[in-house]
C-alpha cells in the first residue's frame, strides 16, 4: 500500500516544506493511516541514527591535534615508492629518453629560450564557471 503524500513527509519532518504545503500534509496525516505509519517509522529511524552510540576517543583527539600543529610529515627520502616492475622500467626508460633529448636539444640549439607562451593544449578549462560578473580583487595575505 502506498500514498502520494508519503514522499512529502520527509521534507516536512526536516522543516523544508513551505508553510502552506506543510499544513496540507498535516491535514492529510490526520486521516491517512499509511502516512501515519510511515511518519512513525521515519521518526523511529531518526532516533536510531541520532542515538548511535559514539564515545569520543579523547586520547586519539589529543594525538590528532598535536600532530596537526606539528604538521609532521614523513621526509620525502623516507617514503616508500611501490611500483610494479614493468611500470617502473617504463618510467625509467621514459626518463632516460627525456634526459637524452634535453642534452641533444641544448647541444644543437645554443641559446635556446624557454617557450614562453608556447603552451600545449591539454584538458580544456572553461573560465565561465568562475565568472559571475564580479570585479577583480587583489590583496596581500600573510603566509
Partner 1 sequence: MNTRAKLILILLALVSSMMSGSRLRSTKASPVASDLKRMQFQIATIREHAGERTIISSSVIEGPPGTDFDIDIQGERFKMNAKFLTDFDQSNVLAIRAKLQTRRLYGYSPQGLPLYEEDEQSPALRLGLDEDIILLPFGRGSGEDRLKIEITPAMTEEPVYSPSGELRPLTINILKISPDGIVNIRASKIPHHYEAEARLLEDGREIARASANLLFEEAQELLLRSDTQAIAVKLKINEFIRSRPSDQVAINFDIHRADKSGNTREPVGLNWSGVARLGADINYDLSERYAKKYELRFNIKIAKGEIVD
Partner 2 sequence: MARQNDEFISIFNEIYPNLCRFLECLIGERASAQDVAQESFLRLYRFGLYRLPSGEARFWLYRVARNLALNELEKRRTRAKHSERVIETFTNTPPNPEEAFAQSERRQKVLELMESLPEDQRAALLLREQEEMSYSQIARVLNVSESKVKSDIFRARSSLRARWNEMSDRAARTS
Shortest approach of partner 2 to residue 135 CB, angstroms?
18
The grid coordinates of residue 86 equal: 614493468
Q: Provide the CA 63 distance to its chain's centre, in angstroms.
A: 25
- 30 or 141, CB closer to partner 1? 141
65 forms part of the interface with partner 2 (CB under 8 A)? yes
- Residue 47 to residues 30, 35, 37, Cα–Cα distance (Å): 22, 18, 15
| Other CB atoms within 10 Å distance of the CB of residue 17 | 18
Per-residue binding letters, 95-114, with partner 1 (x by CB under 8 A): xx-xx--xx--x----xxxx
The residue (of 50 and 129) whose beta carbon lies closer to partner 1 is 129
Give CA–CA dist 66/60, Å, rounded.
10
In angstroms, how far apart are the furthest CA atoms of the chain? 89
* Residue 57 contact among partner 2, partner 1, none, beta carbon within 5 to 8 Å by kind: partner 2
Binding site for partner 2 (CB under 8 A): 7, 10-11, 14-16, 38, 41-42, 44-46, 48-50, 52-54, 56-57, 60-61, 64-65, 67-69, 71, 141
Amino acid at each position: 500500500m502506498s500514498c502520494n503524500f508519503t514522499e512529502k513527509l520527509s521534507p516536512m519532518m526536516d522543516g523544508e516544506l513551505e508553510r502552506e504545503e506543510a499544513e496540507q500534509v498535516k491535514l492529510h496525516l490526520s486521516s491517512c493511516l499509511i502516512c501515519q505509519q510511515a511518519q512513525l517509522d521515519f521518526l523511529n529511524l531518526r532516533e536510531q541514527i541520532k542515538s548511535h552510540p559514539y564515545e569520543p576517543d579523547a586520547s586519539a583527539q589529543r594525538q590528532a591535534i598535536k600532530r596537526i600543529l606539528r604538521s609532521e610529515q614523513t621526509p620525502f627520502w623516507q617514503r616508500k615508492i611501490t611500483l610494479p616492475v614493468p611500470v617502473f622500467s617504463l618510467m625509467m626508460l621514459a626518463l632516460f629518453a627525456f634526459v637524452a633529448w634535453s642534452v641533444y636539444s641544448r647541444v644543437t640549439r645554443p641559446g635556446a629560450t624557454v617557450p614562453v607562451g608556447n603552451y600545449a593544449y591539454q584538458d580544456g578549462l572553461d573560465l565561465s564557471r568562475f565568472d559571475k560578473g564580479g570585479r577583480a580583487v587583489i590583496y596581500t595575505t600573510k603566509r
